[in-house]
Amino acid sequence: MDVWKFYDITHREHVICNPTSEEKLTRLVELLRLPVNAQVVDIACGKGEFLIRLAEAYDARGMGIDISPFVIAEAERRLQTRAPSADITFTQMNGADFKPGEPHSLDLASCIGASWVFGGHATTLETLICMVRPGGWVIVGEPYWRQEPSGDYLEASGCAREDFGSHFSNAEAGEQRGTELVHTIVSSKDDWDRYEGLQWFATAEYARTHPDDPDLANLVERVSKARAAYLRWGRDTLGWAIYMFRLRSAA
């Protein structure tokens, strides 16, 4: 089954394709206090919710990038509905290939919940830091271990122990690379339940309305296994947070 078709189906009910809430995203946007017409990029932008909110709040200008054609189409539709005059473009491409016109030129660079694009949390931070001006924002969303994962959970989820660190190590990684951690927005179990549960709901709806899809059996099996792993282990084991880093000005 095509990976982006899978994520399109399982995330059709989501406004935000991460385990956080609309209220927390609103708070993030408020705390940024960007200048009018701030220059921004959001890597792995999903349906564009964060970028559209930046345009609505600050007349931000910039680009949202995602490798999935499905979410790019949805992001463009939302932009035309909510902020049709905004200087925002959505582009389907591998986010790892994006380079701003000039290094250290953006007011904000973000990659929320997709550090796999750059090969991990540390390299994501390093890449985004090179994009923003001194005093600019580096915003990332990253999982962390709430507790030591069991071998059974790692096997069932397909994760490796070294894929993620602790909440502290996620924060420290930014501090060690010349940014200041100014805030974290930590997801609750309710946020996780919403994120995971909407995938189950969307899959059930798709199965009900598309019974002849040849990919259906594979879809249902994958979601069922993920649901069991989440309920048995993941809900108590894996956390997630948005980290707000600001690039320190040169001395």
Tens digits of residue pLDDT in 3-25: 999 999 999 999 999 999 999 99
> Which of these, 80, 95, 77, 18, lies nearest to 50 by C-alpha position?
18
Q: What does the pLDDT read at residue 177?
A: 97
Is-contact 113 44, C-beta < 8 A? yes
Q: What is the pLDDT of residues 75-99, one digit of tens each?
A: 999 999 999 999 999 999 999 999 9
Is-contact 52 84, C-beta < 8 A? no
3-state secondary structure of 181: strand
181 occurs within a structural domain: yes
CA distance 83 to 35: 18
Q: What does the pLDDT read at residue 249?
A: 82
240 confidence band (pLDDT: 50, 70, 90): very high
φ/ψ of 42, rounded to 5, equals -120, 110
232 occurs within a structural domain: no
CA distance 166 to 145: 5
46 occurs within a structural domain: yes
* 109, pLDDT greater than 90: yes
Structure-token pair, residue 111: 């990659």
CA distance 23 to 168: 24
Q: What is the pLDDT of residues 31-57, one digit of tens each?
A: 999 999 999 999 999 999 999 999 999
Is-contact 65 45, C-beta < 8 A? yes
> Which of these, 165, 157, 161, 160, lies nearest to 140 by C-alpha position?
165
210 occurs within a structural domain: no
> Which of these, 75, 3, 87, lies nearest to 38 by C-alpha position?
87
Is-contact 116 65, C-beta < 8 A? no
**Domains held by the chain: number:** 1
7 occurs within a structural domain: no
Is-contact 110 50, C-beta < 8 A? yes
250 confidence band (pLDDT: 50, 70, 90): low
Task: Indicate which CATH number applies to the domain containing 77.
Answer: 3.40.50.150
Domain that holds residue 151: 20-189+240-246
CA distance 186 to 190: 11
223 occurs within a structural domain: no
199 occurs within a structural domain: no
81 occurs within a structural domain: yes
Structure-token pair, residue 12: 């059709």
The half-sphere exposure of 237 on its side-chain side, counting CA atoms within 13 A, is: 17
Q: What is the pLDDT of residues 126-160, one digit of tens each?
A: 999 999 999 999 999 999 999 999 999 999 999 99
The half-sphere exposure of 208 on its side-chain side, counting CA atoms within 13 A, is: 6
* 251, pLDDT greater than 80: no
